[in-house]
Structure 1
């Protein structure tokens, strides 16, 4: 599932290409046709992201909400438009570009109250200027739930996914099964600050890189990571491979239905 930086990149891209102009909105597939007709030809006022949610705002009580889920993708192309290929849930055509949305978990028209209700269910987003990390700390510090579970709970922190979860815990030497209430405040503040930096870099580059400069392939002489997700990481999807810091084989297990990666030496219990 795309992590929060991907949605913020899409919001910035759509803002740049479509903001302030009338756009044609349709649903070649038909599943979004009724809602599309209500915003077709209207001016897109802004695009913004909150966690893993994307919002196209057309005016009072007219907000298209997209959640990509596991399979959703946007394809972006310059004009002229082409015939739809595959199951296109939503097509957006602007003055210079067009984009097709396929396979999202959600694509629907919401009013302002529904948007507020959705956002109220989410925790602070490290990529938003209005984020309040104390709200997340209040939840984590009172909980027996492992920190690794809380970091993926979108009602605690919005936008972080399995990659950022694994990597930020490694970078701060926190065992993933540590109960939230056993995490000290200083360590939490460092984790949050690191998430902000790492996710902002993800917005800038379009990939997740978490390895510090001294552990880069160019410095250590190791082979660069080859993975369809891209990016240099410490433990994510490196089960059984040597830790880049200490050489211990990276551990993995499943926790709440998601794969968990950590180094038993760098992240002791």
Structure 2
């Protein structure tokens, strides 16, 4: 048994299992084209997959904190993967989903509350903050595995596009999380290495870091540069621009095109990000 957490405190929550079930059923609906609206099935698959990744992100923070010395994370329910146990469930789940719907951006939300005074050592503090983005990196690698393994023969187009868009969210979340902005995990990685005076000066801005990043992403030049980076990473993982683009189009089922072109037809399209 993991020191500092009982078996009950580590039992996977029924809420998380329900999320995984929704993800599995919607995946089946996308794969078989069973749903009357393919876009709605893609929407359910991407949203449920995105929330599952958020749970894993926060779990990674909590599990690393447990091993770092904060034995209170178990009693708080953070090890159960239950998003309702987070310090700010609205910020951790609802707000990121809204960001996805509004702009197709995997922007992170709130976080689990770690009792940092229980953790000794700057490296442990940095690892706790880095664990969340690393979970997104692993999720992105899993989502893109069929692409970089060249294992897409026989895969339905709609599933291919949905998987690519979910991967885009993971890559964008990892990049944004690693920004050294107060309130983001990237700042949490470098914060232990800053002087006490600098940390005191930066601390008041932490609650506004997330909204500031979202605001900057609405600036056309910043948005274009950011998505160039995201699409560059996806391309390195074997995911083409059109895969993620049409995944996003299907995700917006309320405004989705009547027909999505197949990969063989993509050479006739010019994508505008």
Task: Give the shorter-chain TM-score range.
Answer: under 0.3
TM (norm. structure 1) is 0.28
Which one has the largest radius of gyration? 1
Structure (1/2) with the larger helix percentage: 2
Q: Which structure has the higher relative contact order (CA within 8 Å, separation 6+)? A: 2
TM-score normalised per structure 2: 0.27
